[in-house]
């Protein structure tokens, strides 16, 4: 099980196992609950960059937070890491995390 970098306290493994057993949860169920209840979610926009031959990933709600990957999956893994670093730096500096922005995708004739 991975404990997020920004966690303020580390729970001893025995204590965590007792909590999970008492709640009738396994580690995967806890991870899903953690993501739903605690982790912030950010919209990620992916675009294939023909020049680079890779996918670029941008987080509109976190200005300057970008990454790339050779595949969509790799780009998503990389942008998740970038988001963690971005958010961690903001928290370390005592800054307020920005609210998620609404992204509208439209097709226009031109």
CATH number, domain at 73?
3.30.160.250
Beta bridge partners of 14: none
Give the total number of structural domains in the chain. 2
- My answer on whether 64 and 80 are in the same domain is yes
- Strands 66-69 and 54-58 turn out to be antiparallel
- My answer on whether 48 and 61 are in the same domain is yes
Residue 65 domain-assigned?
yes
Residue 103 domain-assigned?
no
User: What's the pLDDT at 1?
Assistant: 47
Residue 47 domain-assigned?
yes
- My answer on whether 46 and 23 are in the same domain is no
Domain range enclosing 83: 42-96
User: What's the pLDDT at 18?
Assistant: 83
Place of tokens 């709600």: 61
Concatenating the DSSP letter of every residue in 39-74 gives: S-----EEEEETTTTEEEEE-TTSTT-EEEESSHHH
- My answer on whether 51 and 66 are in the same domain is yes
3-state class of 4 per DSSP? coil
Euclidean distance between CA atoms 41 and 60, whole angstroms: 12
Cβ neighbours around 84 below 10 Å, total:
14
- My answer on whether 61 and 85 are in the same domain is yes
pTM: 0.63
Along the chain (110 residues), what's the average pLDDT of each consecutive run of 10 residues?
54 78 81 71 93 96 95 95 91 85 88
User: What's the pLDDT at 55?
Assistant: 98
């Amino acid at each position: 099980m991975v404990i997020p970098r920004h966690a303020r306290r580390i729970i001893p493994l025995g204590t965590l196992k007792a909590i999970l057993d008492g709640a009738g949860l396994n580690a995967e169920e806890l991870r899903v609950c953690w993501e739903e209840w605690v982790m912030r979610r950010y919209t990620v926009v992916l675009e294939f960059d023909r020049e680079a031959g890779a996918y670029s990933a941008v987080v509109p709600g976190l200005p300057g937070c970008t990454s790339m990957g050779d595949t969509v999956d790799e780009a998503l893994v990389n942008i998740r890491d970038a988001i963690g670093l971005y958010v961690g730096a903001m928290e370390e500096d005592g800054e307020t995390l920005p609210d998620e922005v609404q992204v509208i995708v439209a097709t226009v004739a031109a």
